[in-house]
Amino acid sequence: MPLKIDLKPNERLIIGNAAIRNGDRRASFVLETNTKFLRESEIITESEADTPCKKLYVLLQVIYLVDETFEAENGFTALATQIMEAAPSMAPRIAAIHEFMASGERYRALKLGRELIAYERDLLARVVPASTESLPA
């Protein structure tokens, strides 16, 4: 089934192994074959991955987009283990991501990765204010 994609001015898009950036005007096109793609709003670059869960998400992007995923899957497992040891409350979320990966539903795993980042942000928001409030003035 064809998929119409509308791009905002200068919006990025990854289709398979190709990175595309739109020009100065809105554009639309149709993908006529089944292929993997990510819109700019779904992309986190390695340089933007400044937390453990964002780094995990970068690995999920690779696993979703490329055919040879062995190294990325090993990296995912190692980092996921470290995250769960440091923050056990993330274990159920990471397990759900792993289940989707194992069943071949990699895009759904990627979506759960975004939710994991939001959960991490909430955890950090609870920790950071508490630690700065207890510091002497």
Handedness of CA 126, 128, 131, 134 (dihedral sign): negative
Please give the pLDDT value at position 136: 56
pLDDT band at 134 (very low <50, low <70, confident <90, very high): low
Please give the pLDDT value at position 1: 76
What average pLDDT does this structure show over 90-103? 96
Count how many Cα atoms sit within 13 Å of the Cα of residue 75 in the half-sphere of its side chain. Answer: 15
Please give the pLDDT value at position 133: 54
pLDDT band at 132 (very low <50, low <70, confident <90, very high): low
Compute how many other C-beta atoms are within 10 angstroms of the C-beta atom of residue 81: 12
**Residue range 42-92, pLDDT digits in tens:** 999 999 999 999 999 999 999 999 888 899 999 999 999 999 999 999 999
* pTM, to two decimals: 0.86
Question: Do 14 and 65 meet the contact criterion of CB atoms below 8 Å apart?
Answer: yes
